[in-house]
């Protein structure tokens, strides 16, 4: 009698640092939420921001002060694809869309990924804005 393999599960801590009310441990996120949080973390992190992991992140913040053109948006899309492909082995990127909004001086980012070995699709949206 053959048994089917158990589906893969992924887990991570919740970066909001909330505690579980019962166990008093840090709250845990699982499966697609854990992978989605990892992708968001890659988008929000720049090179050399993480101790012992200088290569982590897409480095998008340094592009915020480039001219707001479709060329810059295309360069951001390429950085996002490369960063997720090298730093998040659990997913395959299907679409990356970066839309510049000159009126509000921000970029809207939309990423769609498929978790490998499954058909589970995750969507990540992020808004990057110049800070003072």
The answer to whether the CB of 122 falls within 8 A of the CB of 112 is yes
- Residue 120 makes CB contacts below 8 A (sequence gap 6+) with 31, 32, 114
Give the C-alpha separation, 125 to 22, whole Å: 32
pLDDT at res. 4: 56
pLDDT at res. 8: 66
Q: How far apart are the first and last CA of the chain?
A: 64
C-beta neighbour count of 108 within 10 angstroms: 16
pLDDT at res. 119: 85
Backbone angles phi, psi at 8, to 5 degrees: -65, 140
Q: Which pTM value belongs to this model?
A: 0.82
Give the C-alpha separation, 115 to 38, whole Å: 12
Q: Using CA atoms of 67, 71, 72, 77 in order, give the dihedral in degrees to the nearest 10.
A: 170
Backbone angles phi, psi at 50, to 5 degrees: -105, 125
Residue by residue, pLDDT tens for the chain (132 residues) are 555 554 567 766 666 667 777 887 776 766 788 888 889 999 999 888 888 888 889 999 989 889 999 999 999 999 999 999 999 998 999 999 999 999 999 999 999 999 888 888 999 999 999 876
């Amino acid at each position: 009698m053959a048994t089917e393999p158990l589906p893969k599960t992924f887990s991570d801590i919740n970066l909001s640092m909330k505690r579980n009310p019962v166990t008093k441990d840090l709250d845990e996120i699982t499966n697609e939420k854990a992978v989605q949080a990892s992708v968001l973390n890659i988008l929000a992190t720049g090179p050399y921001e993480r101790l012992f992991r200088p290569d982590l992140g897409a480095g998008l913040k340094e592009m915020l002060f480039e001219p707001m053109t479709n060329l810059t948006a295309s360069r951001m899309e390429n950085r996002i694809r490369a960063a997720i492909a090298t730093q998040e082995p659990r997913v395959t990127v299907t679409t990356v869309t970066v839309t510049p909004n000159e009126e509000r001086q921000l970029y809207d980012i939309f990423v769609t990924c498929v978790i490998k070995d499954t058909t589970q699709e995750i969507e990540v949206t992020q808004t990057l804005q110049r800070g003072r």
